[in-house]
Amino acid sequence: MKKIVFTLLIIFCIVSVNYGQDYSTGIGLRGGFESGVTFKHFISSKSALEAIIATRWQGFEFTGLYEVHNQAFQTERLKWYFGFGAHIGVWNGRDVYWGTPGNRYAVLGIDGILGMEYDLREIPVNIGIDWKPTLNVIGYQGFWVDGGAISIRYIF
């Protein structure tokens, strides 16, 4: 069974490489102060929807973003992007300086995003770096500017 799964994975990677570098969907990992999973899908040649499920402060957060992508520095496969969206989540106030021990905070807010990503030529992988400031408007209110992360996605 392991040999079959491995063989299918190799075939899928080869087909994906030959598919081209203008990908339509990518899924991967996001690492930063908020680490989790990222899913990006292009709805046109320049606009994409991204969903992020991340953990932080012994809680979780779901973020949905609309992004506009453009070529960066006249370099093939290098794009910069900006966008906006919203998030909803729950945090535990125990191990943070601003929280009350034992309290859980439900939050709802708006997000911005500014980033750059590169599609590798040899393998179907996309690497990106971004900054995602957040404003919580319901729950524990505040403006957070530490939302930067690096994402690595498998693209198809």
Instruction: Catalogue all structural domains in the chain, each as residue range(s) with its CATH number.
Output: 21-155 (2.40.160.20)
pLDDT tens digits in sequence order for the chain, 156 residues long: 555 545 545 555 444 444 444 789 999 999 998 899 999 999 999 999 999 999 987 889 999 999 999 999 988 899 999 999 999 998 876 555 555 666 777 889 999 999 999 999 889 999 999 999 999 998 878 898 888 999 999 998
- DSSP β-bridge partners for residue 89: 61, 107
Strands (E), 72-139: 78-92, 104-119, 125-131, 134-138
What pLDDT is recorded for position 1? 52
What pLDDT is recorded for position 2? 53
Helix (H, G, I), strand (E, B) or coil at 103: coil
